[in-house]
Structure 1
């Protein structure tokens, strides 16, 4: 921004404010409408503030539906998959960035190419493999396909690659082996990148929809995104759609992602700046 005319800075700030408002308004409308009565949600002209204020939708969600079970499923899937991604992607990225072996560049390029392949391209063979391994309708069947995360390898590889070689050489002079260098030297320095990966992968795993939709048939195993999409069908096929309960379910579903982001936000910007994801 340094050296740019004031009018250009003003236009940029206005554009940022408008973009922020554009994204925030639907979220605010969802939260506010979840405290309204059902008839007031679709009223015209629309009213922003709920009158009267009611918790009826939240009570319905928590008492008439297995919402806590769906929430537990999402927590297990997101947490276990994120931990698996951190372990596997950290070791893979470190090996690709710091070790020298034949075929390293080709292997890394193949991994990067996988960023261009959507899940729709391989969901059928993935389903067949999971079915033959008897992993459908199970936590391992939902978690294991998520652990192979190419984006996290890309972020961590860029971070490990930019770490100074002097740190590694000094550790070797002190008698440290490869695993000790990785565990005691490189990992403590990679907190920003690990936090970035944790936030991005947790949110992505929390919002997983297509694979759980295909791999889960039992209502008790559904994560929140799939359960909300079938909100009435999962419990009562004959019930009419109620916007209030759906909005209340969506509002509560966002809370875990906000908590994770707030807990790791101080590392997030630093990790983005140091991992090669720059605009």
Structure 2
């Protein structure tokens, strides 16, 4: 009986995070009349896809998705490369000031993004990179959390394995790519999910740097739906746009969820 009660409690707790997604889906499928009804219905009486038709007419999703994929793809790749290389160096190399530099790097994780917004904007402007994809990517090509995560996993790689490879004549780059990197697969997958979601959902920084509508990622392109947000009758259009924009991040998580959960469980055992 106790196990049943515990399982029921865990099921209810797990459903809470899914409720906003459920409400977004069903609301996007309601008619304007049903959406403005009080009390609200828990399931659409008549399914309608008019909101999605309106969204695809208003928002240039093809171009916006291409921009987001370019920014998120290049940003994620850069974070993976820099995090694995720096994490390996911090974990396996001894040099003066290593620990001080590492913890100073970790301390930057606690800086609110808004604090660095103005200095970063002036830096990008002075380099002439305003309204460019490089301007959006440059400040985030390396990530302190990614370096911290990789350093923790690299520390678990046996030193004897690396020393044996060096004795066999393997260079440091080959050791990192052929020996260490395969052992970091769970951490790499986890960091890929975090980095992709971060870049895909990034709003404030691209809004500050980009001025051309043709370069807007999908989260900025959704601003074209603001005129529909002023009326409850047309909230289904806004919700449909938000759902379409969030689908890639959901797909990425679903593809990586098995390894992702294993990594979180392993990290909890440390």
TM-score (normalizing by structure 2): 0.91
SS at match of 1:232: helix
- In the TM superposition, what is the alpha-carbon distance from 1:227 to its structure 2 partner? 2.8
Q: Which of the residues 204, 207, 218 maps onto 1:210?
A: 204
Q: Does 1:219 align with 2:248?
A: no
1:70 is matched with which residue?
64
Matches within 5 A, 1:153-232: 153-228=147-222, 230-232=223-225
| Structure 2 Cα separation of the partners of residues 147 and 10 of structure 1 | 48
Aligned partners of 2:28 and 2:236 also within 8 Å: yes
| Structure 2 Cα separation of the partners of residues 49 and 248 of structure 1 | 16
1:243 is matched with which residue?
235
Distance 1:48 1:273, change over 3 A: closer
Q: Does 1:89 align with 2:79?
A: no
SS at match of 2:224: coil
* Unaligned segments of structure 1, at least 5 residues: 1-5
| Structure 2 Cα separation of the partners of residues 212 and 278 of structure 1 | 37
SS at match of 1:48: coil
Q: Which of the residues 20, 25, 35 maps onto 1:31?
A: 25
Distance 1:239 1:267, change over 3 A: closer
Q: For structure 1, which segment, 12-21 or 148-157, has the greater mean C-alpha deviation from structure 2 after superposition?
A: 12-21
- In the TM superposition, what is the alpha-carbon distance from 1:12 to its structure 2 partner? 5.0
Structure with the larger helix share? 2
Matches within 5 A, 1:137-156: 137-156=131-150
- In the TM superposition, what is the alpha-carbon distance from 1:224 to its structure 2 partner? 2.2
1:106 is matched with which residue?
100
Give the 4+ runs in structure 1 shifted more than 3 A.
9-15, 237-241, 276-279
- In the TM superposition, what is the alpha-carbon distance from 1:21 to its structure 2 partner? 2.1
Aligned partners of 2:72 and 2:199 also within 8 Å: yes
Q: For structure 1, which segment, 248-257 or 59-68, has the greater mean C-alpha deviation from structure 2 after superposition?
A: 59-68
- In the TM superposition, what is the alpha-carbon distance from 1:185 to its structure 2 partner? 0.4
**Count of matched residue positions in the alignment of Structure 1 and Structure 2:** 268
Aligned partners of 1:193 and 1:272 also within 8 Å: no
- In the TM superposition, what is the alpha-carbon distance from 1:106 to its structure 2 partner? 0.8
- In the TM superposition, what is the alpha-carbon distance from 1:82 to its structure 2 partner? 0.5
Q: Which of the residues 40, 45, 52 maps onto 1:51?
A: 45
- In the TM superposition, what is the alpha-carbon distance from 1:10 to its structure 2 partner? 5.9
Aligned partners of 2:58 and 2:225 also within 8 Å: no
* Unaligned segments of structure 2, at least 5 residues: none
Distance 1:123 1:12, change over 3 A: farther
* Alignment RMSD: 2.1
SS at match of 2:225: coil
- In the TM superposition, what is the alpha-carbon distance from 1:32 to its structure 2 partner? 1.1
